[in-house]
Structure 1
Amino acid sequence: METLAVDNKDVATTQKAVAGKPGIQTLRVDRKEIVADGIVRLRLVEPNGGRVPFWTPGAHIEVVVPQADGEALSRHYSLCGDRWDPHVYEIAILNDPKSKGGSKYVHEELAVGDMVTVGTPRNNFPLSQAKHFEFIAGGIGITPFLKMIEAAEQLGASWHLNYGGRSTDSMAFLDTLADYGDKVTLWPQDEKGFMDLSYLSEPVEDGRVYCCGPEPLLNVVQKAAENWPSWAVRFERFVPATLPAPVRTEPFMLDLARSKKCVEVGTDQSVLAALTDAGVPVLSSCNEGVCGTCEVAVLKGKPEHRDSLLNDAERERNDRMFVCVSRAVSDRLELDL
C-alpha cells in the first residue's frame, strides 16, 4: 500500500488539488478508531507541534485523499473533537457504499502515522443565539451536533436531540450522548421505526431547528417544520438538493466591480467556469453548492440560487451566491470581484 507520506508523490497530488487555497495544512493521523458499525474517527495532529486554525460548532474541514489513478478527491467532514485543543482536529467518517473512493480510502488504506492534507475550517451550519434548539440527526449527521450541544449547555439554552440510525450498532457516540439523559432521544430504526417529528408542527418562541443527515430525513423535517419561520430551520446536506432545470437558459453577463471586467456566462457554462476562463479565479471545492467555498458577494442583479446552503430569507436578500452552481435570473449580475 502506498500511503500518503510527507515525502511521497501523493502529497504533491493532494496539494495540487487545493493549490491556491489559504490555510492548507498537512496533518498526521494520530489515532484511528472504530466508533460504530462502518464509522471511524480520526484524530489529526500538526506533526511539528504547531497549531491548527480555531473552529466553531458546526464547522467542517476539507480533506483531500489520493486515488489509484493518481488524482485526488476532496471531501468535507464535520469537526467533532475538542475545539479548545489548538493542535488537534477530530472527524468521523462513514464508509459509504456509494462512495467515489474517499471514505473507502480512509477506512481501508489510511493508517496511523500517515499524512493527510486538510483545509481551513469553514462553517456553513453555525449555531445561532436562541432560547431553545431542536437538533435532529440521522446517521453520521450526528457529528456537528456533538459540539453544538456543548455550546447550548454553556449558553444555558434548552435543547433536545432526536438521533436516528439503522440500529444502535450503527449509531456513533452513544456513550457521550448518554450523559445528557432524556435530552437525547434515540431512534434505532430496527427497534422503533422512523422518527416521530410531529412535535415540530408548532414553532417554539425564539427556537431553532437544526437537521443534518440523509436527504430523505431532511425532506421529512422540512415538511414537518413548515410552520416555523424559514430562517429558524437550518439544514446541512451530504449531497446537493434535487433541483429543477435553471430558470434562465440564455447567456447572461457578469460585471466585475473590482477588476472592471465584463464576462459572459454561456448557456451550458457555470459562473465559476466563466470566471476562471476570464482569468478571475475563485476558490472552489465541491462544485455542487454544498461546501460554501466559492461564495461571492452580489452587488446588483438577481441571482438564481441553486445551492444547498442558503435558507429562504438569505436567498431573498440576493447579496451573495455560490458560483459553482448558481446562475442569474436578471440579464446582468454585478459581483464583488
Structure 2
Amino acid sequence: MQQTVIDRIEPVAEDVVSLTLRGTDGPLAPWEPGAHIDLSLPNWLTRSYSLCGDPADRERYRVAVRHDPLSRGGSEYVHRFLRQGRPLEVSLPRNHFPLLPAAEYLFLAGGIGITPLLPMLRAAAGAGVPASLVYVGRTTASMPFLDELRSRHPGRVRVAATRRDGRPDLAALAATLHPDALVYCCGPAPMLAAAQAAFPAGQLQVERFRPAARTFPANTPFEAVCARSGRTVQVPADTSLLDALVHAGLPVASGCREGVCGSCELALLDGEPEHRDDIGAPRGRMYPCVSRAVSERLVVDL
C-alpha cells in the first residue's frame, strides 16, 4: 500500500469530483494508461477507480468519482466527507485494460467512462498514432474533463450530448476504421452492448462498471486449502470464497465484490476453478469474490 494525502479535490462535472492524491513517502508507483487503484476510505470501504492523470507524474495520482444515487457507501463518502489534506492509503496500480499497440485507435467513452480513456488518448497522441475520441453523455455539463480534452486534443474529440444530439452511429464509425485499428470502450452497459454489435470482437476492448449478466451452474460446496497458513476452509453453496476466507480470519483485500476490479486476486496452486469474473483471470489466478470451484478442493496461496 502507498500513503497519500488529498492535494486537491474539485468538481469537474455535475455530480463528479476529481481527487488529486500526492504521495507522502517519495515517488508513487508507476502506472500505464488503463490502470486503476484501490482507495481505502476512512469508512472502512475499499473502492477502485481508474487513474486519469499523467503517468509521467510520479508525485501525484488523479481519479474521478461520480456520485451514484444508489451508492453502497463509497461515492457518497467521497462526495460528502473527503476534504483537501485528508490522508488516504491507496494500492499499487493494477491494469486489466492495457493500451495495446495498434495502427489507429478509436476511444468510446460514456460519462465517467472517460477516466481510463483520457490517459490512453494522451499516450496515443503523444506517440503520433492516429487516434480519436467519441465522448457520449446526457449533457455536456455531465461530462467530466470535457474542457481539458477539447483544449489538449483539438480535432480529435467528438462530443455527443444525447439529449441534444442523439446517440452516435457506431456502425458508421466502424466502416471508416483502419483494418488494424483497436477500439477501446468504457461506459454504461447499453453503450458496451452497442459497441459489441458494431465492432468485431478482436478489434474491441471494453471495461465495465458492472459485470455482464450471465448464468452459471448452481453453486456447490467445496473446500479451500490455504497453503501458507495451513488452514482448510469450507465454502458452503450460499457463501462466496471471499466471504468464507474472511470469516475464517484470513483477510483478503476486496473492492467491487462483483468480479470487475481485481482487488481480491489470489494465486491458485491446485484445483479447477470456475471463473465468473469479467476481467479474464490469467492462468494460475482467480477472483474469489465471484469465482468458485469445479473440483471439490482448491489450493490457494494464502
TM-score band by shorter chain is 0.7 to 0.9
Structure 1 unaligned residues grouped into runs of 5+:
1-22
Distance 1:205 1:100, change over 3 A: same
Q: Which moved more, 1:163-172 or 1:92-101?
A: 92-101
The answer for the alignment partner of 1:284 in structure 2 is: 254
Tell me by how many angstroms 1:262 deviates: 5.9
Partners in 2 of 1:204 and 1:282 — Cα distance? 44
Is 2:215 the partner of 1:241?
no
Distance (Å, rounded) in 1 between the aligned partners of 2:217 and 2:65:
36
What are the Cα deviations for residues 133-152 of structure 1, in whole angstroms up to 9, with x where unaligned?
22111101111111111211
Q: Give me the whole-angstrom Cα distance separating, in 2, the residues matched to 1:36 and 1:177.
A: 13
- RMSD over equivalenced CA pairs, Å: 2.7
Question: 1:4-26: per-residue Cα shift (whole Å, max 9, x none)?
Answer: xxxxxxxxxxxxxxxxxxx242x
Equivalenced residue count is 300
* 8 Å CA contact retained: 1:302, 1:318: no
In the aligned structure 1, how far is the partner of 2:250 from the partner of 2:85?
38
Question: Amino acid of the residue matched to residue 159 of structure 2?
Answer: L
**Distance in 2 separating the partners of 1:100 and 1:257:** 33
Matched with 1:329 is 294
Aligned to 1:117: 89
- Contact in 2 for aligned 1:247/1:304 (Cα 8 Å): no
Structure 2 stretches of 5 or more lacking a match?
A: none
Contact 1:292-1:322 at 8 Å conserved across structures: yes
- 1: distance between equivalents of 2:11 and 2:158? 23
- 2:40 corresponding residue in structure 1: 64
- Counterparts of 1:41 and 1:234 in 2: how far apart (Å)? 25
Structure 2 CA distance for aligned equivalents of residues 181 and 239 of structure 1: 32
Residue aligning to 1:33: 10
* CA 1:298–1:102: 2 relative to 1, 3 Å: closer
Distance 1:140 1:332, change over 3 A: same
Q: Output the amino acid matched with 2:37.
A: I
For residues 203-253 of structure 1, the C-alpha deviation after alignment (integer angstroms, 9 at most, x for no partner) is: 85333221111222222222322x332xx4322222233332x31422235
SS of structure 1 residue aligned to 2:41: strand
TM-score (norm 2): 0.86
Residue 224 of structure 1 pairs with residue 198 of structure 2: yes
Going from structure 1 to structure 2, the CA distance change for 1:34 and 1:157 (only over 3 Å counts) comes to same
Instruction: Report the CA distance shift for 1:263/1:112 in structure 2 as closer, same or farther (over 3 A).
Output: closer
**1:1-337 superposed matches below 5 A:** 23-25=1-3, 27-47=4-24, 50-67=26-43, 72-178=44-150, 179-199=152-172, 204-225=178-199, 227-229=200-202, 232-244=203-215, 246-254=216-224, 264-276=234-246, 281-298=251-268, 301-310=271-280, 319-333=284-298, 335=300
3-state SS, counterpart of residue 163 of structure 1: strand
